[in-house]
Amino acid sequence: MADTDPGGELRNTVYKTVTRSGRRMTRARRALYAVIVPLGMTIIRLWWLSCRSGRIVGEEHLSAALAQAPSLVPCYWHQHQLFCARYLLQQRARGRLMPGWLISPSVDGELGAMMVTRIGARAIRGSSSHTGARALRDYYLALVKENVSPVVTPDGPKGPRFKFKPGAILLAQMSGRPMLPMAYAASRAWLIKWDKFVIPVPFSRISLAIGAPRYVARVLDAAAMETLQREMEAELLRLYQVAVLANTSSTDSTLA
C-alpha cells in the first residue's frame, strides 16, 4: 500500500510516488541527516586536502566551452567522481560555472541532496533508472534556463563500467550545449569492491585531464548515436591515460 500523509499525498519522494525503500522523512531521520551531512563533508574536505596537487591538462578546453555558452555538460566515469567533482566546485568558487548533480528523489536521496546543497552546488532530483525522462527534462531546464552545468556520469553507479550511455548525448543534442569529457588519476588509490570507485590514498598526487568540448548535431540517427557513444568512451579512457602520464611530471598545477 502507498505510504501517504494525512492529506493523502505520498511522502517518501519529492515526486510523490512510492520508491523501493518505502522510507519516510521522519523527524528522527531529518535530525540524523543534520549530523551526518556536516560530518561527511568534513571527511571529504580533509581527504581532498590530504592529497597533493598535480597537473591539470587541457584546462583551455573548459575556457573555450564557456566562451560559447554559460553552461555545459561535464562527463566523467562514475569512478572518477571524487576529484572531478572537486575541480568543478573550484570553478564554481571562481564564478566560472555552477555544477549540478542528479540526486535520487527518494527520502534516501535527501542525504545526498543536502550534501550537494551544502557545498554550494545544485541538486537535481531524479533517477536515471526510475524517472529517466523526467530527470532528462529537469537536467535540460537547469542547463538552459538556469545555466547550471549538470554532471553526467555516463556509466552510472550500476554500470556497466566504462560504457557511455546516451543520456549526456541526448542532453547535449537537445540543448546545443557541449559535453566536456574529464578524467583524473591518483598516484596511489584504493578501489571500492562493488563499483571500483576510486579513492586516492592520502598524500597521493592527483592530476586531471580535460578533453575538447563535444557538440552534438540536432539530428542523429541510431548508427550515429552508437558511433558517438563509442567515441566518447574512447575519449574518457584516453583522458585517464593522459592524467596518469601527467602524474609522472614533477610540475604542480592549481588543483588545490
pLDDT, mean of residues 43-58? 92
Q: Is the pLDDT of residue 108 over 80?
A: no
41-45, 184-188, 226-230: which range is least confident on average? 41-45
Q: What is the CATH number of the domain that holds 82?
A: 3.40.1130
Asked if residue 162 belongs to a domain, the reply is: yes
pTM of the model: 0.83
Asked if residue 253 belongs to a domain, the reply is: no
Asked if residue 251 belongs to a domain, the reply is: no
Return phi, psi of residue 182, to 5°. -145, 155
Asked if residue 78 belongs to a domain, the reply is: yes
> What strands, in cross-sheet order, belong to the sheet with 148-150?
122-125, 98-103, 148-150
pLDDT in tens, 70-104: 999 999 999 999 999 999 999 999 999 999 998 87
Asked if residue 14 belongs to a domain, the reply is: no
C-alpha span between 233 and 159 (Å, rounded): 13
Asked if residue 94 belongs to a domain, the reply is: yes
Count up the domains in the chain and report the number: 1
pLDDT, mean of residues 105-131? 79
pLDDT, residue 12, reads 42
Asked if residue 42 belongs to a domain, the reply is: yes
The total of other beta-carbon atoms located within 10 Å of residue 125's CB is 20
Asked if residue 17 belongs to a domain, the reply is: no
Sign of the Cα pseudo-torsion (188, 194, 197, 203, in order): negative
Mean of the per-residue pLDDT values for the chain? 85
Q: Which domain holds residue 156?
A: 27-246
Cell of 200: 586516492
